[in-house]
Amino acid sequence: MLLLLLESPSLLAQRATKKPAQRPPAASADARAREEEDREGIEKLREQEIKASIAYDIDAVSNLWTDDVVVIPPKHAPIQGREAYRQYLLEGKDEMAKYDIESYDEQWDEVRVVGDYAWQWGVITSRLKPISANAEIQVSYSTMRILKRLEDGTWKVHRTIWNDREAPQTLKPQTQPKP
């Protein structure tokens, strides 16, 4: 304790001569351009995924994932690799053939880019119309994903996990055309 008291005047003198901390410089034009490219690339991935999901085009969807994607669906063991996840979707194709996909939307509450990776979390919502019925079903999932920027600058899904946000709801049919 005594040592601290003896050193205090010299520490105070040193602090008094230090300049206040400088603010970091504003982001450079290159950094802002890169951020804009990233946002555009991630939005393009979103648009491609929506289009492929509405069509239930398994090949188009699987092309939006990295080769080493890891997917953790509800009540299922983790699925590792693009081909394994593609097989998982193929197994559900007969069941999905019983429905028309009326809509599919991704609303991301947060998207953050850190180097060649980004994370996003939000809600994915679909409206399905059973072919044999007039009523529609709405499903909603809370989702978190990690995206990866490839060497060519494109973004792909690298890791994803989701769970049911709520029990599926039966809805009255919409009269609006599909997007």
Please give the pLDDT value at position 166. Answer: 74
- What's the DSSP call for residue 25? P
Half-sphere exposure of 132 (CA within 13 A, CB side): 4
Stated pTM of the model: 0.76
- For the chain, residues with pLDDT lower than 70 are 1-27, 167-179
- Looking at residue 118, its pLDDT comes to 98
Task: Look at residue 84 in the predicted model and tell me its pLDDT.
Answer: 97
All domains of the chain in start order, with CATH: 30-171 (3.10.450.50)
Q: Give the Cα separation of 50 and 79 in Å (integer).
A: 21
DSSP state string for 105-158: EEEEEEEEEETTEEEEEEEEEEEEEETT-S-EEEEEEEEEEEEEE-TTS-EEEE
d(CA 168, CA 86): 24
